[in-house]
Structure 1
Amino acid sequence: MPLTKEQIKLIENVIKDSLRKKFQTYNPETKNMPFHYRLLGRDRMVLFSFIHSLNTTFGTSIFEPVAEILASLNFEFAQKQYVVGDAISEQAQFEIQRIMNELTIGKNPNKAKEIERIRKVCNKGTMNKLKTVKVDLFVQSADETVHLFDLKTAKPNISNFKDFKRTLLEWIAIFLAKNPNAKVESYIAIPCNPYEPRPYERWTLKGMLDLDNELKVGKDLWDFFGNDGTYEELLNCFERAGIELRPEIDAYFSRFK
């Protein structure tokens, strides 16, 4: 099922509104770079700085709302920045640490088994209070399976994968604390494959993540939210938005020549 005209309009508006808002609030770095300016031009340096700044906000300002719109195609419920809870059982924390220790010494990850291990202790021991825990995107399918997504940059820092894994397991424990019988999954979501057309270099994540059940990248991610072909339609939305905004973009950066 292709995107509806209404969904396409919503997605393109999210993209355009986000970029226009960025233009209104962005202040180029004020540090003097006389050699760079003379070699490359101040407008190009401002553009480079702008793109870097935009990349840091792409997730919350564009990818999250777009994913929420797309997920409405296939899921009963979808919400960005969803609160999953604020408590985790002490025994679940101990179990998560045991899982992490096992992975560290070379045990292969198995998300299904890890979830069941956490489920058995999700309400055992002291319930430790946490700061309110939000996931980037929460979606629930017709069979009531819950999917929790942590959106990352295209090439996340390898040194952080251990923390990513712990976060995914803790989300499971926090959600099960309130819903012990729920069917729930958690994922690292990477919006695009920087190695395309080659496959994503999943080996960088191997050892911590159950790659088939905890990672969704690029086309697999967006087609999961929508349907087959959603990724290509989404790229077209970005292209159309870019073409429409081109005069505004050119006018903005011409100020810095």
Structure 2
Amino acid sequence: MSLLDSQRNQISELLEGQIRRKLANHSPETNNMPFHVRLLGRDRMALFSFIQSINTTLGTSVFEQVAAIIAASHFKKAVNQYKGFNNTISESAQDTIQQILDDLRAVRNKPSKPAEIEMILQSAQVGKMKVVKQPRIDLFLEAYDGTEYYFDLKTAKPNRGEIIGLKRTMLEWVAIRFAQNPKPSSIYTGLAIPYNPYEPEEYDRWTLSGMFDLHNEVKVAKEFWDFIGGNDTYEDLLEIFEKVGLKLRPEIDSVFAKFAPS
């Protein structure tokens, strides 16, 4: 078992609290879908609306909080929705980032995060410094060796246009962090994808491959959870979700039984 009992309890309480709040405040949005309601039934449409709401909650807050709980026992610091980031970037670093992106889009270079970080490091404190909007990081981790990890958690598969913007963000985080002293001993900025929607097939990474260094910039499902929590963390987490689901099933069924046809 990778997770401590205290972590299991924290995660279970978090999930139960989120589900119960959703149930208490749930208002099914079926009024504007008269054909769907008549075809499928009000109870099914109410449940569908609830599932959509849960999907949003998992993607926007729950996975980040769960990750911080898990990582707390393996890292010096583990913070979700991290707001302690710098808000300045050098114009020289911005030029470097644009050149990196141009080269990747034109296929003049293959993605190499270590090389890209080194290029940005050389320009991070060169030239005029500009104030930018302070980034808010989904998950920040500081390892005991001084390495800093900055993750953007994504549940939906990004399209091509979004991928370019995400890559720019990952590079800008490096530039913003290195504009400030003291610098970390090492830095990682990348995407964390909590689950693989294609399982048991491998995650379809081809859309990311032209812009992202897949080995050094993207962690998917088990790879991510086991990285922050140790071996078998992913399986432990699935077990916790299942147990909470079984515990709350009678409460969920009771709420949606009200929408069933009499």
How far 1:60 moved relative to its partner? 3.1
2:45 corresponding residue in structure 1: 45
Match of 1:164 in 2: 166
Match of 2:250 among 243, 247, 250: 247
Give the direction of change, closer, same or farther, for the CA distance of 1:24–1:61 in structure 2 (3 Å limit): farther
Q: Bigger CA drift: 37-46 or 208-217? A: 37-46
After TM superposition, list the pairs within 5 Å mapping 1:186-225 onto structure 2. Answer: 186-225=189-228
Letter in 2 for 1:2: S
Amino acid at match of 1:189: A
Q: Which residue of 1 aligns with 2:87?
A: 86
Give SS of 1:138's match: strand
Match of 1:113 among 100, 115, 123: 115
How far 1:103 moved relative to its partner?
0.4
2:104 maps to 103
Please say if residues 74 and 225 of structure 1, whose CA atoms lie closer than 8 Å, have aligned partners that are also in contact.
Answer: yes
The share of aligned pairs that are identical, in percent, is 50
CA distance in 2, matches of 1:2, 1:205: 30
Count of aligned positions:
257
**Inter-partner Cα distance in structure 2 for 1:179 and 1:154:** 35
CA separation in 2, counterparts of 1:113 and 1:61? Answer: 32
Does the 8 Å contact 1:152/1:191 carry over to 2? yes
1:198, distance to aligned residue in structure 2 (A): 1.1
Distance (whole Å) between structure 2 residues aligned to residue 32 and residue 91 of structure 1: 52
2:70 equivalent to 1:70: yes
User: 1:41-86 deviations in whole A, cap 9, x for unaligned?
Assistant: 1111111122122222212331011000111122111001112221
Report the Cα distance in structure 2 between the residues aligned to 1:253 and 1:96, rounded to whole angstroms: 51
Matching of residues 121-160 of structure 1 within 5 Å: 121-160=123-162
Is contact 2:30-2:45 (8 Å) kept?
Answer: no
Q: Is the 8 A contact 1:154 1:192 kept in 2?
A: no
- Mapped to 1, the partners of 2:181 and 2:193 lie a distance apart of 27
1: CA distance, partners of 2:103 / 2:57: 35
Alignment partner of 2:192: what SS? strand
Aligned AA (2:53): S
CA contact (8 A) 2:28 2:45 kept: no
Please give the per-residue CA displacement for 1:74-121, whole angstroms capped at 9, x wherever unaligned. Answer: 211100111222111111111100100000101201000101111111
CA contact (8 A) 2:151 2:191 kept: yes
Query: Structure 2: which amino acid aligns with 1:21?
Result: R
Change (3 A) 1:216 1:178: same
Superposed, 1:16-35 pairs within 5 Å as 16-35=16-35
Contact 2:149 2:187 in 1 (8 A): yes
Tell me if the contact between 1:149 and 1:188 (Cα under 8 Å) persists in the aligned partners: yes
Given the two structures, how large is their TM-score scaled by the length of structure 2?
A: 0.94
Amino acid at match of 1:87: T
Question: Mean alpha-carbon deviation: is it higher for 146-155 or for 26-35?
Answer: 26-35
For the pair 1:176 / 2:183, whether they are aligned, the reply is no
Quote how far apart the aligned CAs of 1:30 are: 4.7
How far did 1:132 drift? 1.9
Aligned to 1:4: 4
Distance 1:62 1:219 in 2: 17
User: 1: CA distance between counterparts of 2:12 and 2:161?
Assistant: 35
Q: Shift of residue 180 of structure 1?
A: 5.9
Which residue identity lines up with residue 76 of structure 1 in the other structure? K
- TM-score after normalising by structure 1: 0.95
Deviation of residue 13 (structure 1)?
A: 0.9
- Deviates further, 67-76 or 155-164: 155-164
Q: What's the C-alpha RMSD, in Å, of the aligned pairs?
A: 1.4
Partner of 1:231: 234
User: Structure 1: any 5+ residue segments left out of the alignment?
Assistant: none
CA distance in 1, matches of 2:131, 2:26: 38
